[in-house]
A and B are shown apart, each in its own frame.
Chain A
Amino acid sequence: MADPMRIRAVARDGVVNVRVLMSHEMETGQRKDASGKLVPAHFIRNVTATHQGKTVLTALWGPAVAKNPYLEFEFKGGQKGEKIIVTWEDNKGDKRSDEGVIN
């Protein structure tokens, strides 16, 4: 299973800034290994972020996103101490969910 995501969420003036670092190979499917064989595609496809049960972000990604993706977004209405949950699912069906606390 992939390493945990790093999540940092900071509330300021009613807006929460969320930064996420994911740990994923993000293989495009175009790259060849040393023996000349194509490395099979392996990339994150869906990303969702929820806050208090409400989805605040969904994203559909493809193989063009770099290895170990960094994501930053903002949403309105979060409070200090509340949780934000980020989930990704890749093209092989691997999934990972991690949570961060807003401060």
Chain B
Amino acid sequence: MSRWNKALCAMALVLAANQAWAQHSGIGRAATPAEIAAWDTDVRGDFKGLPPGSGSVSHGEVVWEAKCASCHGSFGESNQFFPPLIGGVTAEDIRTGRVAGLAKGGEQRSTVMKLSKISTLWDYINRAMPWQAPKTLTADEVYALTAYILHQGNIVPGSFVLSDKNMAEVQARLPNRNGMTRKHGLWETRGKPDVKAVACMRNCGPEPRITSQLPDHAAGSHGDLVEQYRLFGPVRMAALPVASAVPAAAPAVVSDPGRSLADKNGCLACHAPKQRTIGPALAEIASKYRGDSGAESRLVAKVRAGGQGVWGTTPMPPFQNLQEQDLRAMVQWILKAE
């Protein structure tokens, strides 16, 4: 290879590494540093990616009551709908770093029982919560909420202030910090591989047909999943194939503007089509107010102001910044539910 060629090659490599997109000229452009930063939000176990900031347990309590308690319960006990975030850890667990209740089994597993890295809790809240408005919390709020949850789990005192500086100290107190091990496979195979493939070379018989199937006792053991499917949030991919399982009426419902508004505004997080979850089922609301001509306006006002007591003690949060016509479209859509 001539010198000139070598140089060219080296140059091509550098180009390929630095700007892979350039090979496909005319397609896209390099991501800007700001764009990369916007995606690169994960917080690692070694705390790389953790933004500076801090938050106290007492600030966390205020944010929790406002933004989290309606789903997870005032103290994170979540009994009604979601697995509890707190509970099930003892002072002894905090000392050993291994939650005894997990090994014992039979206990409901809470978040503070399972958690082996405090960064995971921070990262999860930061990216995913509150459920109906993810990524709306400030870094300080996430610190405060993390501190609040840790305090509910008796891991830090009520006066604690969590920050990027002392996350490592909390890690050292996490009840299940030593609970994870990689010294085992997914299955107990007793040292043998779990598949044994012997290639057939001669007189092999008919081509096998590969299928996938659930044993009878497992198929349908959770009932009709489509009915329980809780639609939530704007989804970028194509609609899930619910239509095939819910014949006829489904497509018409999907195209209703009230339906897409309810989806966009997080209503469906708490309101499922047929089953009562956090809030009443859409079908229940519709049948309660069928034939009541004043219901639409009353319900628009109710959703705007939030409230409780009509269906139970769980409150619905207020939705004060929604437009009147949007609220009306959503309520009209709900009142048509069957």
Contacts and interface: CB of A to CB of B under 8 A. Distances in A.
B152 interface: yes
B79 interface: yes
A21 B154 contact: no
Interface in B36-88: 61, 65, 73-75, 77, 79, 87
Secondary structure at the B interface, as helix, strand, loop or mixed, is loop
Interface residues of A, number: 9
B313 interface: yes
A13 interface: no
Contacts of A72: 313
B74 A68 contact: no
Contacts of A70: 73, 75, 77, 79
A8 interface: yes
B57 to A, nearest CB: 12
B313 A68 contact: no
Question: Which 6 residue pairs are nearest across A and B when measured between Cβ atoms?
Answer: A21-B75, A6-B75, A19-B74, A8-B74, A21-B77, A70-B77
Interface in A36-92: 66, 68, 70, 72
Interface in B309-336: 313
Contacts of B73: 70
Contacts of A3: 154
Contacts of A6: 74-75, 152
Contacts, number: 21
B285 to A, nearest CB: 24
Given A3-B154, A6-B74, A70-B79, 6 more contacts: A6-B152, A8-B61, A19-B75, A21-B77, A68-B87, A70-B73
A39 to B, nearest CB: 11
Nearest to A33: B106
A70 B73 CA distance: 10
A64 B140 CA distance: 41
Contacts of A21: 74-75, 77
Interface in B127-145: none
A50 B268 CA distance: 40
A72 B79 CA distance: 14
Contacts of B77: 21, 68, 70
Contacts of B74: 6, 8, 19, 21
A21 B78 CA distance: 11
A68 B73 CA distance: 13
Interface string B93-129: 0000000000000000000000000000000000000
A67 to B, nearest CB: 9
